[in-house]
Structure 1
Amino acid sequence: MAEMTFMGAAGEVTGSCYLLRTAHTQLLLECGIQQGGADADRANRRSLAELAKKIDAVVLSHGHLDHAGLLPKLVRDGFQGPVYCTVATLELLEIMLKDAAHVMAKDIEWENKWRERAGKPLIEPVYTQDDVEATLALCQPLLYGAPTTIAPDLRLIYHDAGHILGSAIVELMIEDGGRTRHLVFSGDLGNPDSVLMYKPASMKHADVVLMESTYGDRDHRPLADTVEELANILEQANRDGGNVLIPAFAVGRTQEMLYHLSMLYHQGRLPQQKIFLDSPMGIQVTELYGRRRNQLNGGDIKALSQAAGSDLDHALPILQFTRRVDESMAINRIKSGAIIIAGAGMCTGGRIRHHLKYNLWRKQNHVVIVGFQAKGSLGRLLVDGVERVKLLGSEVAVKARIHTLGGFSAHAGQSQLVGWAKGFKGKPVFYMVHGEPQARDALAELLRKTHGIDARVPEYGETITL
């Protein structure tokens, strides 16, 4: 009899990981990294050797690090089986995992300098570039809608989740004692208002559904209102004589922000003189999105092309890619008139922390939060109104204005989640995953009481029978 154990993203939004056991196969669905402070770092460093020995394969829904970022650690600890993903997800993984290993190495280099001065033991990265190369060699890319036998008793089909390039809803057919069990995992469902992605595919058949609940307790502000608020913030920052910092996830959010900034530019509503995309990974992903335009929402791409005079390469003339470290450091000499987009999206590492160190203490500056901030992350602390933060060994006062714009989210809001769940025929059992307790519980209650759906809330480590 098939069973599933919830090994991550149960009551939280990072570290997605679910172990599926059938009569013949053990499959890991997702292998996400934990994000958000010291506890997350300790969780990422735990040995995966025992898990690596017993699983036959890994199935990924998409390339975001909270769903795939611990794969090289799994491989480092002994896993050598196939990793299934979509074609575009593999392209993203090559960029993201290499960048993650690079950023990890650089952040640990800074950390070890401080540790050495303090007489504390030095630490090593969770994984290295060699581990990433070994991981990529195991990946087997699949097309949307193509049924694939991945084990004697398992068939896999990917459907477009509309979240980021290559994101997928995972459909698994499990042969179990003469019967076929249908398991559907939503992955991260996209926001239908997204300008670059298509709407998530509707699903009709399942016995069990694992459903994300990131925004299970609220809807997003309408996109038009959110863009208007962004325009007002940019105008205010110009009047204040400061810079605008946008911590952004390199995949999806960065490209959406560049789209909206491009449209504002061509409408004459962008007063800043320069936009810096200061994220090597974000630059590579943006270039990949450009090459994969045929997989994006054609209507919105056409609108941007028309605004740019039919030449997307000139959609945002004031945009500058800063690949090198010296270019990134030079940005910190600019006191006003700049928009700086940098990763990581939750401010947990990468170049955004350097820019925050040089800009947070100046009241003329503005920080625009455009993505979900996990509990324990620096971004969450800023959203919650912390007055001082520690950045790269220094304490920094938070004087800049902090803005939160949820309407740019790449996740479906509550109403969209409910609509997607109501599309299933029959009476599948739903398990709420990938959501903090308040959001997860609110969605489960709404599905149960208002729509008669059997929605359950699994605990971390809980095992269910399919």
Structure 2
Amino acid sequence: MPEVTFFGAAQEVTGSCHRISHPGLGHILLDCGMHQGGDAVSRLQEEHFEFSPRDIDAVVLSHAHLDHSGMLPKMIHQGFTGPIYCTKATAELLSVLLNDAAGLYLRDLEKENLRRRRQGKRRLSPVYSMKDVEQVLKQCVGLDYETEASLSDNTRLVFHDAGHILGSAITELSFLEPGEQKPKTLVFSGDLGNTDMVLMRDPSFLRHADVLMMESTYGDREHKTQGDTLSELEQILADTWQRGGNVMIPAFAVGRTQEILFHLGCLHQQGRLDNWQIFLDSPMAIEVTQIYDHWVDWLDTKDTQFLDMSHPHPLEEFLPHLFLAVTPEDSMAINSVKKGCIVIAGSGMCTGGRIRHHFKQRIWNPHNTLLFVGFQARGTLGRILVDGAKFIRLFGEQYAVKARIETLGGFSAHAGQSGLVNWASAFTPTPKLILVHGEPGAQKALAQRLERETGQRPLIPAQKECFHF
């Protein structure tokens, strides 16, 4: 009988990692994500696998975000040699995300070791290297949507479009046990997209599963409609323009940045955007935006029809007031713009990246606006700010938080409660339900509604809990 063990994203949002095991099937890992929040050096030093990476036969990756993929180099470093199955677009995005994360980690580790040497402490060894990142990419097996792949003689894999970010996938795994005539099917939603998103297609609806593992990030709330959210965005921008301020938008390099650029481009094309200077201050987001251009056929045609596909970078052509800040000097030059600029920079939860440098320059000014457009996990600087912190520490100094803090939940790349329930309700008969990738309050609310509408009480597993199916 197969079993699934939950090693991450169990009663928490980040660190997605679930192992499926069976004596006749081996060990398959669904995602291999890192936890977000805190210092990357100490976090990677302290995070340990609750299994031997050498014993894992294959990894099946739902998408490229680091909370689903970021521990892959450490897995390789500790002896994992099997295939990493993902969509072709995810494989291309991984090259950008993992190389960027490794570069930041190794630079921070070098600084930490310099500090430790001055204090007479033991030097820390890296938990992985750039060679491990290269090996991750070599072990990737890129697949198209709706294409069956054989993981073994009795295990089949199909990816379906999850509508979350480019290349994101709903994972369908079928296991035929020895002596059985009918396979058992496990479906893992990964991160399920919001049907009201731009650029992305709606998530695929599946009809059959014996076990359904589903994310629950927004299981306790609904998102505002896209129209209401755009009106709110337009008003926030207009108010900040009138105050003579600037807007800072922390955004993930994959998905959220491209969506925000598209919305700003629509406002510009409609003559509803003031004469803002818009800075994309993220080399990774710039590279990812170019990858989106490459995979435009995987995006929603009702939105991409507005882009000039004859242009080498249609998203940038759509928004001519966009400036790309690639070098550190480009980023620092933004400081000289005293008003009228929108700065989009990583990281999305403010755990690192260039956005923190912009906070240093602008978060103490009441004319400015800090605009959150995505989920902020517990323990991150973004969550601290959303929760109303009056002071924060940056680079060893304290800063007063006087900029206006705004949140636009309607831009979420995750389905809200009704979207999750509608998607799960399409399965007939109702499979065994397991909620992962959510905080306890959100999971409890979603479980209660799912029980009312399907008649089945979902399992909410704890860390290292096992479930047999």
Query: What TM-score range do you get, normalising by the shorter chain?
Result: over 0.9
Retained in 2: the 8 A contact 1:49–1:77?
no
Range moving further from structure 2, 42-51 or 313-322: 42-51
TM-score, normalised to structure 1, is: 0.95
Q: Please show how residues 173-192 of structure 1 align to structure 2 within 5 Å.
A: 173-179=174-180, 180-192=183-195
**Corresponding residue number in structure 2 for 1:420:** 423
Aligned mates of 1:10, 1:402 — CA distance in 2:
30
Which residue of 220, 223, 235 maps to 1:220?
223
TM-score, normalised to structure 2, is: 0.94
What letter is aligned with 1:100? Answer: A
**Corresponding residue number in structure 2 for 1:241:** 244
1:100 Cα offset (Å): 1.0
Retained in 1: the 8 A contact 2:265–2:318?
yes
Aligned mates of 1:337, 1:7 — CA distance in 2:
46
C-alpha offsets along residues 279-302 of structure 1, whole Å, 9 cap, x if unaligned?
A: 111001101111211111011111
Which residue of 195, 198, 207 maps to 1:195?
198
- Going from structure 1 to structure 2, the CA distance change for 1:405 and 1:120 (only over 3 Å counts) comes to farther
Aligned mates of 2:323, 2:119 — CA distance in 1:
38
**Corresponding residue number in structure 2 for 1:52:** 53
Aligned mates of 2:7, 2:50 — CA distance in 1:
15
Number of equivalenced pairs: 464
1:234 Cα offset (Å): 1.0
Provide the secondary structure at the position in 2 that maps to 1:364: coil
**Corresponding residue number in structure 2 for 1:4:** 4
Aligned mates of 1:289, 1:259 — CA distance in 2:
12
Aligned mates of 1:278, 1:109 — CA distance in 2:
24
Retained in 2: the 8 A contact 1:214–1:439?
yes
**Corresponding residue number in structure 2 for 1:326:** 329
C-alpha offsets along residues 233-268 of structure 1, whole Å, 9 cap, x if unaligned?
A: 111111111211000010000000000010111222
What letter is aligned with 1:36? Answer: G
What letter is aligned with 1:426? Answer: P
1:117 Cα offset (Å): 6.5
Provide the secondary structure at the position in 2 that maps to 1:344: coil
1:328 Cα offset (Å): 1.0
Q: Following superposition, which runs of at least 4 residues in structure 1 exceed 6 angstroms of deviation?
A: 116-120
Unaligned runs of 5+ in 1: none
Retained in 2: the 8 A contact 1:49–1:74?
no
Provide the secondary structure at the position in 1 that maps to 2:448: helix
Q: Please show how residues 391-410 of structure 1 align to structure 2 within 5 Å.
A: 391-410=394-413
- Going from structure 1 to structure 2, the CA distance change for 1:40 and 1:227 (only over 3 Å counts) comes to farther
What letter is aligned with 1:270? Answer: L
Aligned mates of 1:39, 1:113 — CA distance in 2:
16
Range moving further from structure 2, 47-56 or 93-102: 47-56
What letter is aligned with 1:414? Answer: Q
Q: Does 1:255 align with 2:258?
A: yes
What letter is aligned with 2:159? Answer: Y
What letter is aligned with 2:287? Answer: Q
Retained in 2: the 8 A contact 1:107–1:349?
no
- Going from structure 1 to structure 2, the CA distance change for 1:366 and 1:295 (only over 3 Å counts) comes to same
**Corresponding residue number in structure 2 for 1:278:** 281
Provide the secondary structure at the position in 2 that maps to 1:137: helix
- Going from structure 1 to structure 2, the CA distance change for 1:312 and 1:389 (only over 3 Å counts) comes to closer
C-alpha offsets along residues 165-195 of structure 1, whole Å, 9 cap, x if unaligned?
A: 1110000001123331110000111010111
Retained in 2: the 8 A contact 1:107–1:350?
no
Q: Please show how residues 441-452 of structure 1 align to structure 2 within 5 Å.
A: 441-452=444-455
**Corresponding residue number in structure 2 for 1:133:** 134
Q: Does 1:20 align with 2:20?
A: yes
Aligned mates of 1:281, 1:304 — CA distance in 2:
22
- Going from structure 1 to structure 2, the CA distance change for 1:334 and 1:461 (only over 3 Å counts) comes to same
What letter is aligned with 2:2? Answer: A
Provide the secondary structure at the position in 1 that maps to 2:392: strand
